[in-house]
Amino acid sequence: MSGEPETIQPGSEVVMHFSITLEDGTVADSTEGEEPLRFVMGDQTLIEGLELALYGLKAGDKQSLIIEPENAFGHRDPANIHPVQRDEFPEEMEIREGVIVGFVTPGGDEIPGTVIELGEKEVTVDFNHPIAGHEIRFEVEILEITNGGKQPAMQ
């Protein structure tokens, strides 16, 4: 043991508090007042651009970064906006502009879609990530890092 504190690397188990804030100050996601997030680097809990901001940090470190859309939730893609027939929504569901609805893909995955326009027979739904196209402030406080056993040296 070198006595050096452990740093975040591929495969590290990380426990942290975080917040994601939009340009206008709106908090898009946060663990403030909740349990911290626990995940393994590379397990796709966080998108790649957010993971990259964590490499090399140690327990106790705090970091605040501005991340451009291309490294965060991507840019808005007009091809991800689709009409959905009104009768595909449950009858009891209140449909209004701005509501985020969970849809199930043919492959069984659930994806969010934001209602952006109401028509008589169709509802226009934006399947871009709700914060796609936004520059974000990503703030983290690293609480704990656990690295597995030493990886074998490459031969």
Q: Exposure of 148 by Cβ count < 10 A (0-12 exposed, 13-18 middle, 19+ buried)?
A: exposed
Task: Give the residue-averaged pLDDT of 116-122.
Answer: 93
Residue 110, pLDDT above cutoff 70: yes
pLDDT band of residue 3 (cuts 50, 70, 90) is low
List the one residue out of 121, 130, 23 whose CA is nearest residue 80. 130
Residue 1, pLDDT above cutoff 60: no
Structure tokens at 87: 């009768």
Angle at 135 between CA 129 and CA 140, to 5 degrees: 90
List the one residue out of 70, 31, 66, 30 whose CA is nearest residue 48. 70
d(CA 125, CA 113): 6
- Which pLDDT score, from 0 to 100, does residue 2 have? 54
What is the reported pTM?
Answer: 0.73
d(CA 59, CA 146): 10
- Which pLDDT score, from 0 to 100, does residue 90 have? 86
pLDDT 10s digits, 28-81? 999 999 999 999 999 999 988 899 999 999 999 999 999 999 999 999 999 999
Helix residue spans in 5-98 (DSSP H): 48-52
pLDDT band of residue 152 (cuts 50, 70, 90) is very low
